[in-house]
Amino acid sequence: MMAGAATAFFECSSGSGGGQDASTDSTLDAPSPGDAAKDVAVTDAAMEAEAGVHVQIIEPANDASFDSGDQVDLVAAATDSHGNDLTDQQHLAWSTNAIVDPIGEGSPASFQLIADAGSYTIRATATDDAGNSAFDEIGIHVR
């Protein structure tokens, strides 16, 4: 550490507090010599956006092949930045360009694939309570 450099401790919390709101003011002053710490209140939405939503399709496998009329099982893993599960029907939606959207909600789910022969995309989109979302896509083939 350089001579005269100040060390600052910033504490993030999801409640409102006496500190500056980092979501509206990004300028923070270094603590005065008598200050023990500078508190910074960060909103839940700001923390969610920073860490993000994560979603991964587990089933079907990418490039899987099906016959038209097959029942297709859909399984995904999805979490928010706090590790909360987002695989319930409120937070996870399935869609495809093979048939009318949406094809299902939650995980696990399934749908009957009625489509012409060709290649299609299946998408799982997870949305957290703050409105942040992410998706994963795989390709499938209809014989």
In the chain, the domains with their CATH numbers are 11-42 (no CATH), 53-142 (2.60.40.10)
Look at residues 140, 105, 132 and name the one whose alpha carbon lies nearest to residue 50. 132
What tokens were used for 65? 């092949």
Could you report the per-residue pLDDT of 66-119, keeping only the tens digit for each?
999 999 999 999 999 999 999 999 999 999 998 776 899 999 999 998 889 999
Residue 74 in contact with residue 137, Cβ under 8 Å?
no
What tokens were used for 3? 């001579």
Taking phi over 0 as left and psi of -120 to 50 as alpha, with beta for the rest, 110 belongs to beta
Residue 18 in contact with residue 49, Cβ under 8 Å?
no
pLDDT at residue 17 above 90? no
pLDDT at residue 34 above 80? no
Could you report the per-residue pLDDT of 107-132, keeping only the tens digit for each?
999 999 888 999 999 999 999 999 99
pLDDT at residue 22 above 50? no
Query: CA 76, CA 12: separation in Å to the nearest integer?
Result: 31
Q: Give the Å distances, CA to CA, from 73 to 60, 86, 105.
A: 7, 18, 12
pLDDT at residue 142 above 60? yes
Residue 114 in contact with residue 83, Cβ under 8 Å?
no
Q: Greater confidence, 21 or 44?
A: 44
- The full length of the chain comes to 143
